Structure 1
Amino acid sequence: MPDLDLIVSDILKVSSSIIGTRTVFISEFKKSHFKISKILNNGGIRLEEGQEFKLEETLCQNIYVDNTLTSLVIHDTLSDHRVKSLFATKNLKIGSYVAIPITLNSGKLYGTLCAADPNPNIFNQQQIDEMNRLARILAYIIDSSSINQFSEEENIRIKSLSVLREMVADLADQIGNPLQILKGFYQWADHDVEAMTKYKDVLVEELNKIDTKLKDVIIQTSPTFPRKEQVSIFQMVFDILDSINKEKKTEVKIELTINPTNRKFTIDKEQISFVLRNIIGNALDAVDKEKGIVKIRCFESNYNLVFSIEDNGGGIKLDDMQKITQPFYSSKKEAKGLGLTIANQIIEGHGGELLIDTEQTGTTVCIHLPLSTQ
């Protein structure tokens, strides 16, 4: 399917931007063989699409450690005893290598998302984490492309792939600027410790932008069961508003009330942050830029943790209200129609409820989550 090829190509572009090697590719494991199924090669390693190798000749044989799948990270192949004498290292002149397992929903290993370069490289944990997230997106795509029995209408499946491609392309676009800033800074600083220290906050902020975008795509493409932890609601909401303000640079008045401010609650921080970013973003888009007001409240009620997001926009039309949580439906031309669908799934996954009340003077969205405190 053409859409699928385009999505995978976009993911390889994102991978290349993150990891910084000249070659990135997706391998497929077939019995005892290793096949290059898709590649983006900028003059790095001598590899081509469709090439096959015996698994014992490749570096990827090392993704199993004690019978457990793990990411393979090799900064310098010539100084790594596991791979320095392998056929691929010598004949393909691989200097550094990363391989991230692509594991399908069934638990089966499909293959690996790989990055290779003729020169040694120092890969950091941030890069490896982002590559792991992209491998999870690839696993979702591969699973989706082979599942027919759960899709009642073929056009829904095609549309979902199309939307996914847009999301990945948008992701590549949005992380491009932070990556360019980081690359330019490192070139300018040239190991200047004083300069690195001085601008540490700027660097962390740019890395956080990349991290947030990738996490959002993971949540939208492959929502999982909540991984709950004790979270400071006050700090979480503050961080969300800070990131929204930096992204939208809005002048809309925001009123925030959190009571109590010093309690921690057991939730999946990443998932609930996604929900709040989406709903608060919708509220900001709905109001007048000069006279708009968005009121955000968080409080306890009837053994529930409640988030209330109220705006004074024009409200939601009745026809839209009936479809608002359906996949791929949106009243905004540029929107993909997945935000509230995923938000509703996340809230239900927490055992909670999403309530929407709207009229011509504005809309109030309430999120009720079963209360759990420490």
Structure 2
Amino acid sequence: MKANKDIFRIIPFLYVIIGPIWIIGTDYLLSISNLSAEKELFVDKCKGMLFVMLTAVLLFVLIKNLRDSKQIEEEKVKLSLLIDAMPDFVSFKDGEGRWLQINKFGAELFELDGIDYKGKTDKEMAEYTDFYRDALKYCIATDEEAWKAGKISRCEEAIPLRDGSAKFFDSLKVPIFNTDGSRKGLVAIGRDITSLKEAESKLRQSEKMSALGELAAGIVHEIRNPLAIIRGYMQMSQAKKINLDEHMDILVEEINRINRIVNELLMIAKPTDIILANQKVNTIVSEVVQLFSIEASQQSKRINVIDLEQFNTYCNEHKLKQVFINILKNALEAISPNGEVNITVYEKNEEHFAIKFEDNGCGMEEADLHHMGDPFYSLKENGIGLGMTVSYSIIEAHKGSIQIASQVNVGTSVEILLPKSKNIPVENVC
């Protein structure tokens, strides 16, 4: 476009210079020549024709460039209309970060209608508005990231609105470079994803309410059963059908059952601070095994501990012991007499070690594995279904993880990964 404008200025200038020189020069040459009158007339006609041809060529070039310029201008108008019609934010900047053009959507968003923004940087534009100052300065940082990356970059940007809300944009920054590698321009395109973010928020809220509903249903189911038993004994006592004192142990057990459910729910919903200290995990495992050794021996079940290495980790001994007790108890209940549970402590990788509980019990279906850790999901007839939920929560608080594998009639493997002492800071974990 700039080249066409230069041609428009040069052609008239050339014509004004060349025309007089041609006329005066050729007339002077004819006057000093010794040509005959006929030849002089012929040459005079030829020079006139050549001048006409030169004029025609200059006019042709001028008209052609004028036509090309008009087409370019028309295409530019069409492109501007197209960009303005886009529901996205579109802006063009030069290599120095100066604004060249912004579409209608962007101008309205930043309230730039009537403001001469062309040739100004984001920093300069920020001086025009207090409200959008931070947003414009943030653009400087994301633009620089795109330039340094040297390729299309993507980021999420939030633009505040005066009503207190905000618009969210999935922004693409396209850097354009000259052949020598210098910065030429930057194209920014922002897709308005505000409605998508709102839909995601509503979906998350819906999922939370659904989970809350399932949890409430589980609580009602688990507490209703012992309450029904207590109520039944109380009614029978009122009707003088039984002596309540003779069944007091059953009532106390059912009340304790309700109390356990409430305590475990409180642990999940509002866990207390877990104070971590450097502990020997092998010692904790041995103490848990000792708790079950007599009971296992009486049932002809074996517990084998294989300490391949000694490991320390920052943990809460009581909480970690609670997890080991829960898993070992599940394993012992899953095996039949003469069955066995193997507990192995070994190095998993440079950062973690593992405590694996393996039994040769009844195992679980694949579908049941996916629900391990879900509140109130239990395969036991009288199970509360909160033991593994609490265990997952405790191990997660210790920066670890639990992995379970099982096969029906083969057995179950529960692997607990914990960080070595050097890989986790001493701190209070909530």
TM-score by shorter chain over 0.5: no
The normalised TM-score by structure 2 is: 0.38
Greater share of residues in helix:
2
**Bigger Rg, structure 1 or 2:** 2
The normalised TM-score by structure 1 is: 0.43
